[in-house]
Chains A and B, each alone.
Chain A
Amino acid sequence: MMRFMLLFSRQGKLRLQKWYVSIGDKEKKKITREMTQIVLGRKPQTCNFIDWKDLKIVYKRYASLYFCCAMEGQDNELLTLELMHRYVELLDNYFGNVCELDIIFNFEKAYFILDEFLMGGEIQETSKLSVSKSIEESDMLQE
């Protein structure tokens, strides 16, 4: 199960935070700061997995954004890389050549898309097409 997902820029500015566990606000801020420090501090040639407390942190950089997921001990790290990539593809599909600015100005859309792809820390839909369709139809319901 995924415990949390964070998106942040190279300057450490948070662009999206999704928490799948119940944690207080202060604690969330502390963890976010720590994650940002650890991930931004990684040297370029190191692998994408970090051991942190009892969790596995899987991170990947896409253009100017770092995607950072905290997985539990029994989760498959390589699959998490696929998961993050799928999310980026979904965003790209929706925004067309997505970039950081899209996510900044349309953060609520980014959340809506994420909530169609993941739920409770688990993948809910494995078909790219299905997720995109759901988002489109939901958007049409908006007044």
Chain B
Amino acid sequence: GRCYLYMKTIERAAFPRRLWERVLLSKNYEKALEEIDENLIYWPRFIRHKCKQRFTKITQYLIRIRKLTLKRQRKLVPLRRKIERREKRREEKALIAAQLDNAIEKELLERLKQDTYGDIYNFPIHAFDKALQQQDAESESESDAEKEEEDDEDTDKREFVEADDSDLSDFEDMDKLETSSEEEQEEEEEVEKKASYAKSKGKTPLKGPARRKQRYIQIEYEKETEPTTKTKAA
């Protein structure tokens, strides 16, 4: 933009159309300052000074505008309230319909079934059940061998998994292992439980959950030791 110098004098106050006198200033900054000086020659020093200050400010912000238009400009996109509200509502409903936790769990279990995790997790129980159903013969020996291995791996798993839940979950697994060959299982379970019972007696800080485990174990224990004690006595 070009800058003009506007001057008014009291003599022209009666003629508003001709009140302001306009002078185009040159593009060169110094020359323009000289022109201002020339035009305002008999005006008080203070007014001249202020005029030149104002001119400096104007030129500087014009320079800045030109620089900024070359750079990236932020585009403001207006939000429409109705649409925002609608989107928000739909998002909430979609979230509820999605049932994310269930979906994720299902997907993970699918992947487990399809063996993408390989040998890390060893719960092949249901896979073996299916194998049992498919192959009628030679089922019991296989499952026995595998279950012995599973017990070993359950003890390994206790290290692999953190926190107290692991022990309880192992016992849940133990309960679910009663598909076939229960006698051997019972013996192994009792061995396991005796070991853990001894362990939990040692652990003093975990009194609360350990006690709960003890009670749980005790109930099971009473049921199962009776036949063995009887057989031992006999």
- A and B interact: no
Listed in ascending order, the chain A residues whose CB lies under 8 Å from chain B are none
